[in-house]
Amino acid sequence: MNCSRCHGLLCFSDLRDEEGGLVTEGGPAFRCILCGELIDSVILMNRARRATERDLYR
């Protein structure tokens, strides 16, 4: 997969909470090795929601 920001390589990333535990609610996450962009299911859901809201106000 490629990063939508810089077109770099996205690699699987472990998400850990502040106490060092693994965060499992969001599912898998991917981080770009070039720019550091983080993509997980929550981020994708919020981006889709904002795009829908923008389309409603056009």
Question: What's at 58, amino acid-wise?
Answer: R
Q: What is the pLDDT of residue 10?
A: 96
Q: What is the pLDDT of residue 22?
A: 58
Q: What is the pLDDT of residue 23?
A: 59
- Contacts (Cβ under 8 Å, ≥6 apart) of 20: none
Q: What is the pLDDT of residue 37?
A: 95
3 falls within a domain: no
33 falls within a domain: yes
User: Alpha-carbon Rg of the chain, whole angstroms?
Assistant: 14
5 falls within a domain: no
CA distance 44 to 51: 11
Give residue-wise pLDDT tens across range 3-41. 999 999 999 987 766 665 655 555 689 999 999 999 988
Q: How many domains does the chain have?
A: 1
